A and B are shown apart, each in its own frame.
Chain A
Amino acid sequence: MTLLTGWGRTAPTPATLARPRSADEVAALVKENTAGRGFLARGLGRAYGDAAQNAGGTVLDCTALRPSWTLDPEAGEVTASAGTSLHDLMTALVPRGWFVPVTPGTRYVTVGGAIAADVHGKNHHVDSSFAAHVRALTLVTADGSVRVLGPADDLFWATVGGMGLTGVIVEATFACVPIETSRMRVDVERTRDLDQTLDVMTATDDRYRYTVAWIDLMARGGRTGRSVLTRGDHATREDVRGVVRGDPLAFGPRQRLAAPPWVPDGLLNRATVGAFNAVWYGKAPTAKRGLIQGVTPFFHPLDAVAGWNRMYGSGGLVQYQFVVPFGAEDTLRRVVGTLSTRRVVSFLTVLKRFGAGTPGMLSFPMPGWTLALDIPAGVPGLAGLLRVFDDWVVEAGGRLYLAKDSRTSAASVAASYPRLEEWRAIRDAADPDGVFRSDLARRLRL
């Protein structure tokens, strides 16, 4: 048995780890299932809560699924094994002039995990989520059969965003984006409060492929919700002429720093986060256009620090990410205002506009505003506060992101994912005996 947690390092549970190397090995394991506590695929463990845990059961470490990929430059498609990380993929694809269709805030996720959580990135308002770009996926189902599914199959849309509960994704084919350089052309600007942030994003987000706002939650009063907007596009060769020497497609990311193995509890508190935020906001230009940035600083700033989640100390951290539809800005204001007034420590608060969702039945994104918070799990009164937020979000017609959740209730999920029943029917047909299970599924009664 191995003790597993999500990236938030909360609620550990033990499971038997298996490392299948191929679809056949996955199928063989699933078929000889006798233990009764089921199976679940796990990638690089970047889901924050208990999505990739299976207490008392078997967890399939899918990073050993023959990390491999092939590029079809004619079709602009990549076929990759589910265990391939976006990091490996990008390291290989970028120098060849291709970019992944969607990347979350870290490259250290697997292709299988990206599909199972239907991840989104800074380009959601233009390009939707990962599943929108998947042309085919190969799934090992509960009966041990290996099925190739496409967007015409119901099981496909139950699997994308399905948190691994329909089977084990072993391979996928998805469209990629051609790029001329490995750089980003970025505009940075500061806003003075939340209303201005929302206004600017609403008015001009569509000019950029990638946009995000970082909110200084420690600012209060008239400055509540002041933000730094970072928006950009893939730089063209023209953009980087004279700025980048050598191969414009060169891409060799390195992790320069690592969080120490032990960090004193309470390192991230009001004083330290407040000071950091003030500096971060203060150093951002009021408006600066045409900055040339690399992939890591633009998309994955935290990937530069290995194991950054340890900075939250032994209590771990809770991510809280919700979406509310356009028109429910008041809910957003209420949440930001409450966090600000109560001085809740959130190190990385990120606001983003979502565009169209996918037909994924449990996919998180929908047109609207999404806010993501990182809060130390030990903050007093956090459980009650987040329960109140849950109610506001559900009332406003929004929902929480399952890949980040570690504490919501079954009732709020049932009330906010209108296609949950439909998903259950398809899952039950594909897995009548409940072979695929997770702590998340038990906790939220999926």
Chain B
Amino acid sequence: MRNALGSVDTVLLLGGRSEIGLAIVARLVRDGARRVMLAARGGTVPDEELERLRRLGAEVHVVDFDASRPETHQDVIDTAAAKLGDLDVVIPAFGVLGGQAVYDRDPEAAARDVAVNFGGHVSAGLAAARRLREQGHGTLVVLSSVAGVRVRRANFVYGSAKAGLDGFAQGLGDALHGSGARVLIVRPGFVIGRMTEGMTPAPMAVGVDEVADAVIEALRSRARVVWVPARLRPAFAVMRLLPQAIWRRMPR
């Protein structure tokens, strides 16, 4: 249960090796969370990550999870609930980022990645939401992206999956209104981390820790949407208005 000062007790991370996901979980544990489940493909999470969370005081469980197999998602949520009890925070943090050039050459790979980045989040999100609704409390943290706020030519396969995810998260948040369960939509800009290794950071790039800090603050204040950094929000208010002819020429 979330307490009066915003600390929670249980956390489920789907995509248990995600850098951002683990950074958020570590902060939640530091703030008092005591039971954690990391759901990762093959049920494997690096030992040092497990050790780090355990040292912070959490009891950590690991379960096999495959984002590309939506038929298994409900089971994973049920397993987590059986192990942890009520799920206070659920963070689907899995995702793949392929280059647009690769997708242009390999439409099948593009569809596969969209299935994970969007379809996987839909099945996992709905399964989690069902559980949170029954509980009457709990937050689903959806890691959207500014890439989906207005889709750019430079990465429109990834961006369109994020656009779908963002719309899904907004609708799900509305659907859960009044149930006690909530959705937090996180819209980071370019995140410097393992996932973007080798890429040149875009303007207003942020680090993993900044994203995690912003998520923690938003969970505490019960915000509905958080942009990281916060100034991306006014920036995108403007960018949304740019004529398509200009937007099309955005270099990246």
Task: Please report A residues at the B interface, Cβ cutoff 8 Å.
Answer: 1, 3, 8, 10-15, 36-37, 49-50, 55-57, 316, 318, 377, 382-383, 386-387, 406-407, 409-411, 439-440, 442-443, 445
**Interchain residue pairs A-B with the least CB separation, the first 10:** A56-B136, A406-B4, A55-B136, A10-B4, A443-B1, A383-B5, A407-B3, A14-B180, A55-B137, A407-B4
B164 within 8 A of A: no
B4 touches A37 (CB 8 A): no
Q: Is B7 within 8 A of A56, CB to CB?
A: no
- Which of chain B's residues has its CB closest to A316's CB? B4
- Which among B9, B85, B134 is the interface contact of A37 at CB below 8 angstroms? B134
Q: Is the CB of B1 within 8 A of A37?
A: no
User: If A56-B180, A443-B9 touch, does A11 touch B34 (CB 8 Å cutoff)?
Assistant: no
Q: How far is the CB of A394 from chain B (nearest CB, A)?
A: 15
Please tell me if the beta carbons of A11 and B4 are within 8 angstroms of each other in the complex.
yes
Most A CB contacts (10 A, CB to CB) among B134, B137, B179 go to B137
Q: By CB atoms of chain A within 10 A, which of B1, B34, B134 has the most?
A: B1
Residues in A with CB closer than 8 Å to B166 are none
In the bound complex, how far is the Cα of B1 from the Cα of A120, in angstroms? 27
Q: How long is the Cα–Cα vector from A57 to B134 in the complex, in angstroms?
A: 8
Taking CB atoms, residues of chain A closer than 8 Å to B6 are: 383
B1-24 interface bits toward A, Cβ cutoff 8 Å, 1 = contact, 0 = none: 111111101000000000000000
Q: A15-B136, A55-B1, A410-B34 are in contact. Are A1 and B179 (CB under 8 A)?
A: yes
Nearest Cβ in chain B — how far from A376, in angstroms? 11
B86 located at the interface, meaning its Cβ lies under 8 Å from any Cβ of chain A in the complex:
yes
| CB under 8 Å from chain A, chain B span 160-182 | 178-180
From A8, A383, A442, contact of B1 by CB (8 A): A442
Within the complex, the shortest CB–CB distance from B115 to chain A, in Å, comes to: 32
Per the 8 Å Cβ criterion, residues 131-146 of B in contact with A are 133-137
Given contacts A14-B180, A410-B34, A443-B9, contact A1 B136 (CB under 8 A): yes
11 contacts between A and B (CB under 8 A): A10-B5, A11-B1, A49-B3, A49-B4, A50-B1, A50-B3, A55-B137, A56-B135, A386-B5, A409-B34, A443-B9
Q: Given A409-B32, A443-B9, A11–B134 Cβ distance below 8 Å?
A: no
In the assembled complex, the CB of B33 is this many whole angstroms from the nearest CB of chain A, namely: 10
How far apart are the CA atoms of A12 and B178 in the complex, in Å?
11
B residues 188-221 with Cβ under 8 Å of A? none
Q: Which of A316, A318, A387, A411 contacts B34 (CB 8 A)?
A: A411
The docked-state distance in angstroms from the alpha carbon of A348 to that of B178 is 34
Question: In the complex, how many residue pairs between chain A and chain B have their CB atoms under 8 Å apart?
Answer: 79
Q: Which residues of A contact B9 (CB under 8 A)?
A: 410, 442-443
Q: Which residues of B contact A (CB under 8 A)?
A: 1-7, 9, 31-32, 34, 85-86, 133-137, 178-180
Which among B5, B7, B179 has the highest number of chain A CB atoms within 10 Å?
Answer: B5
Nearest B-chain residue to A410, judged by Cβ: B34
Question: What residues of chain A lie closer than 8 Å to B1, measured between beta carbons?
Answer: 11, 50, 55, 439-440, 442-443
Q: Nearest chain B CB to A6's CB is how many angstroms away?
A: 9
Find out whether the CB atom of A11 lies under 8 angstroms from the CB atom of B2: yes
Across the interface, do A377 and B136 meet the contact criterion of CB distance under 8 Å? no
**B136 and A57 contacting across the interface, CB-CB below 8 Å:** yes
In the complex, A25→B136 CA distance in Å? 25
Nearest CB of chain A from residue B140's CB, rounded to whole Å: 15
If A1-B136, A442-B86 touch, whether A407 touches B180 (CB-CB below 8 Å) is no
Q: Min CB distance, A346 to chain B, in Å?
A: 15
Residue of B9, B134, B136, B179 most packed against chain A (CB within 10 A)? B136
- Complex: how many Å from CA A51 to CA B3? 11
Contact of A318 among B4, B86, B135, B180 (CB under 8 A): B4
Q: Which residue of A lies closest to B3 (CB)?
A: A407
Least CB distance, A439 to chain B, in whole angstroms:
5
8 Å CB contact of B136 from A37, A407, A409: A37
Q: Report Cα–Cα, A73/B175, bound state, in Å.
A: 58
A410 to B8, CA, bound (A): 12
Contact A443 B137 (CB under 8 A): no
Closest to B6 in A: A383
Name the residue on B nearest A443 (C-beta).
B1
Cα–Cα distance between A76 and B41 once the two chains are bound (Å): 69
